[in-house]
Structure 1
């Protein structure tokens, strides 16, 4: 469960056919009921993601087979970067395999289907979720629900730029279960998992694992909502 090596801990969200942790699904369904009353239609576009899928994304980016972007979304020439620079550039936009919160099923990406034209395909970009973007009104409503403690344990782990993962307003997390799982995921356990598979830049990553863990993996406890 911790590293996304199986999908035995997740179930299907019927509408999207995405996989979610059962408790996250209940919270999402309750949020949807409130959203519908407000004129919104939340839709999950990405739920559980396996270790193998994340490893493929990582390896392709490290090998230059998929674009690696800088903080402004501009494509980088990885051939001109050091291994450390490549690893940290990838981490800005893509989770390290074994460290993705999507592995747990507690985390998922959501859009407002009510705002989309019939042929629209969400890209999950900052422009889409800006206040004046296509999904802006939904996210403003959701901000208010989260701030008021009326989001059923769902919160935004990447609400702000803390110098690691770029802000992802579309990314929601079910706090009670995610908090527990995050505290089981240590730098040492993560390195052990990475060294057991074929991962590009593995030595570089493990050589900087504590910095990576602090900047890109661990969400500070104070960012989680009250769960009492």
Structure 2
């Protein structure tokens, strides 16, 4: 049973810590290990690059983007000036890539980002570049392209799906983001927008005056990826 504070990323007592330091719910960790072993048999080094993220960490990301201390990028990579945007446009620019604190699926312990570590290590060594966690790295000749194809075919066997498989006017496409459907769908069904609103009101959350009146719409468009299309 997951509590309201755990859903909002305030408490992580429901999670287990993996040897690499990442945190997941116990059932999710077990299913991931099974999927990881299956991927290895087919030559893919399936590893997690991001898992649980606390409310405070997500709040820090949000506030720094709001103030222009972290980049605000469009879908095509153009960088925006946060100081030149209206509050409404700034909200949508942030949420294209980053979730509202308290409304991130990474709070739950059901969601995580993956990559093919061996192929990425080889790719960065050969190109002297860096791994950026962008869709192009999961397509064509990208280092995670073959893993991505494998996951599209096999992830569902272990209960996982891609909540941000395509851009629909909400969150940008994230072919690396997996969610454990059996638990995540129950969390979504039980999610309290009233509880989220209360938490955001109590926090040092920049832009709350513009966000909170539109919370239901923003949650549907971005967290649930219902988008506008």
TM-score, normalized by length of structure 2? Answer: 0.90
CA RMSD of aligned residues (A): 1.5
Corresponding residue number in structure 2 for 1:224? none
Query: How many positions carry a matched residue from both structures?
Result: 216
Q: Could you list the per-position Cα deviations for residues 13-57 of structure 1 after superposition, in whole angstroms to 9, with x for gaps in the alignment?
A: 21x211111111011001011101100111111110000000000
Give yes or no for the alignment of 1:134 onto 2:143. Answer: yes
Q: 1:129 to 1:118 in 2, by over 3 A?
A: closer
Richer in helix (by share) = 2
What's the TM-score once normalised by structure 1's chain length? Answer: 0.90
Determine if contact 2:163/2:224 at 8 Å carries over to the other structure: no
Aligned pair 1:88/2:97, yes or no? no
Query: Could you tell me whether the CA contact under 8 Å between 1:131 and 1:139 is conserved in 2?
Result: no
Q: Report SS of the residue matched to 1:117.
A: helix
Equivalent residues of 2:58, 2:101 under 8 A apart: yes
Q: Secondary structure at the match of 2:79?
A: coil
Three-state SS of the structure 2 residue aligned to 1:166 is: coil
Per-residue deviation, residues 83-120 of structure 1 (Å, max 9, x unmatched): 11101110000000000011011100110123123584
Structure 1: gaps spanning 5 or more residues:
221-228
CA displacement 1:113-167 (0-9 Å, x = unmatched):
2312358453211111113211001110111114xx42x1011110011210111
**CA–CA distance in 1 between the matches of 2:193 and 2:170?**
16
Please state how far the C-alpha of 1:210 moved relative to its aligned partner: 2.0
- Deviating 4+ runs (over 4 angstroms): none
Structure 2: stretches of 5+ with no match in the other structure? 1-5, 125-129
- Counting only pairs closer than 5 Å after superposition, residues 166-181 of structure 1 correspond to structure 2 as 166-181=172-187
